[in-house]
Every structure is written in C-alpha cells, then in structure tokens.
Amino acid sequence: MAFLEEEYPDNNLKFMRLAIEQANEALDSLEVPVGCVIVEDGNVIASGRNRTNETRNATRHAEMEAIDTLLEQWREQRLSKSQVAEKFSKCVLYVTCEPCIMCAAALSFIGIREVFYGCANDKFGGCGSILSLHSSSSEPQTRFISEPTSQSRFD
Ligand SMILES: [Zn+2]
C-alpha cells in the first residue's frame, strides 16, 4: 500500500477507501460488494452501494444509488437541467469495480468528469473490459486505480 501511496500522492486512495467501506456495507447486507463515492471539489457529496437484493431491482447498482441521491438533492434545491449538468461535469466517481455497461452508459450520459475504479469487471465491464463506452475525448476519463504498472494511464 505504501507503494501505491507514493505512486498516487493525491486523495485518490482516500476516496477509494471510502468506496471500499461502502462495498463492505453491501457485503454485510448480503449484496454483491460494490461501493462508490462521488466527489466534487475534493468533498464526498454522495455515496452508494449495491442494493439489488434488498430492492429486488437488478438496476440498483452502487453508481445508480449515488447518482439518484444527487439528483434527488438537486431536485429539492430546484437546480435547472443545465445547473445539474454543470454539477455533474465537476464530479469524480470512485467505484470499487469497473462500472457495468449500464452504469458506464449512465455515467457517460450525465457527463461525469472522471471515473476511478478498483478492479476490472470481466463479465460486464463498460470501461474497456467488455465494451469501451468512454473512448472519445468528450467522454469521462476512466482510470484503473489499483494497477501500479498502468502508470501512463494515470498522469
Ligand atoms: Zn452497474
């Protein structure tokens, strides 16, 4: 871990650890252990964990939970569509596992700035493992955070 911290001196690991805490909560609730946090200006503004079993809804992935928390908050604050888009464009997502194709498409649609993920998703990955939904320059940058050898993707 010390190696990773030297390699990535900013707050990326701190936020990924918070995402892992969410994943642990999911595990404690007998869910597939995936968790995430959304960060704006260095502050966590939403978190989410997988709730598919609890809700009996296969779309309730961690990312969707966190996005919906923000949409609800911003709806209550009566933000306009363009203000919401502006907010999302400043947000960074830290998620323990590569977003699935559904979530990667949603993240792309809302225009989130950047996505950090902790491990590849060999079955459903939408950020390169199966499909790459974020390949054009206007799409969010996605970075695989736990692989020290992929340093060139990290600077
Ligand atoms: Zn998903």
pLDDT tier at 151, thresholds 50, 70, 90: very low
Residue 58 has pLDDT above 90, yes or no: yes
Provide the pLDDT for residue 80: 97
φ, ψ for residue 133 (rounded to 5)? -90, -5
Sequential DSSP letters for 50-97: --HHHHT-TT--HHHHHHHHHHHHHHHTT--HHHHHHHHTTEEEEEEE
Q: Is there a domain that residue 21 lies in? A: yes
Q: Is there a domain that residue 88 lies in? A: yes
Q: Is there a domain that residue 139 lies in? A: no
Residue 81 is part of which domain span? 10-119
| CATH number of 31's domain | 3.40.140.10
Q: Is there a domain that residue 22 lies in? A: yes
Q: Are 31 and 52 in contact (CB under 8 A)?
A: yes
Least confident of 60-69, 76-85, 136-145: 136-145
Provide the pLDDT for residue 95: 96
Cα(18)–Cα(32) distance, integer angstroms: 17
SS3 of 87-139: the string is HHCCEEEEEEECCEHHHHHHHHHHCCCEEEEEECCCCCECECCCCECCCCCCC
| Distance (Å) from CA 2 to ligand 1 centroid | 30
Residue 150 has pLDDT above 70, yes or no: no
For 74-119, the pLDDT digits (tens) are 999 999 999 999 999 999 999 999 999 999 999 999 999 999 999 9
| Distance (Å) from CA 102 to ligand 1 centroid | 5
Q: Is there a domain that residue 145 lies in? A: no
Residue 149 has pLDDT above 70, yes or no: no
What number is the average pLDDT over the span 129-134?
64
| Distance (Å) from CA 6 to ligand 1 centroid | 30
For 27-40, the pLDDT digits (tens) are 999 999 999 999 99
Provide the pLDDT for residue 154: 37
- Number of domains within the chain: 1
Q: Which tokens hold the place of 51?
A: 């709730």
Residue 49 has pLDDT above 50, yes or no: yes
Burial (Cβ within 10 Å: 0-12, 13-18, ≥19) of residue 116: buried
The one catalytic residue among 63, 72, 114, 147: 63
| Distance (Å) from CA 99 to ligand 1 centroid | 5
What number is the average pLDDT over the span 128-135?
64
| Distance (Å) from CA 121 to ligand 1 centroid | 10
| Distance (Å) from CA 107 to ligand 1 centroid | 10
Q: Is there a domain that residue 33 lies in? A: yes
* Element containing residue 40 per DSSP (H, E): strand 35-40
Cα(153)–Cα(76) distance, integer angstroms: 38
63 catalytic per annotation: yes
What average pLDDT does the chain have?
85
Is this structure's pTM higher than 0.85? no
